[in-house]
Amino acid sequence: MIAAKHHPAFATLSEFVQNLHTRNVFQVLGRDLTAPSEFVLCWTPTGEAEGGTGQAIRIALAHNVPVYNLQRPRERSHVEKHLGV
């Protein structure tokens, strides 16, 4: 299972929380797991992979999907440049 592979303590989570983390798989890799997102745009408090967003980040990075975390100034600047901000 992809979700379990990318979460450090997946087996210890409740079924409800496992389902939330599993949802991230489809958000990143697509409904049939063959249509990955072009990129992941996110924000985490520390700029690192944490919480449910961290799960999406780990999955994206494992599948070569670029991640832009707006908490990181360099990445935010890159996104702003592309948006013309």
How many angstroms separate the CA atoms of 15 and 71, rounded?
Answer: 30
Strands (E) located in the chain: 40-42, 67-69
| Per-residue pLDDT at 51 | 82
| Per-residue pLDDT at 69 | 97
What residues does each domain of the chain span? 2-83
Helix (H, G, I), strand (E, B) or coil at 50: coil
Q: Using one digit for the tens of pLDDT, what is the confidence trace for 28-82?
A: 999 999 999 999 999 999 999 998 899 999 999 999 999 999 999 999 999 999 9
| Per-residue pLDDT at 33 | 96
